[in-house]
Amino acid sequence: MIKHIVLFKLKDRSAESVAQAAAMLKNLEGKVESLLSIEVGTDVLHSERSFDIALTTTFRDLDGLEAYQVHPEHKKVIAYMNEARETSISVDYEY
């Protein structure tokens, strides 16, 4: 199994902007065959060092992750998040 985690810090950190970006991410659920699970959480501390959104996804294997990366629905979300984010970090690991 592969876990893919991405943290996003948005340019506009208002509650409305964070909610809109989180909804875009959650909207991937059920649209990408290889995506076994998705969890989207928003920051509750709102500190200077906090990221605004955490995305956690699960795939059966690396092929599933790659299929997700190039899926048209994911590419739409990438385009949106590339405009909305100030920065992001990610990690992918096998378990």
Encode pLDDT of 61-89 as tens digits: 999 999 999 999 999 999 999 999 999 99
pLDDT band at 59 (very low <50, low <70, confident <90, very high): very high
Q: 3-class DSSP state for residue 26?
A: helix
pTM, to two decimals = 0.95
pLDDT in tens, 18-41: 999 999 999 999 999 999 999 999
**How many structural domains are present in the chain?**
1
- State the residue range of the domain holding 84: 2-94
Residue 89 sits in a domain of what CATH number?
3.30.70.100
pLDDT for 81 equals: 98
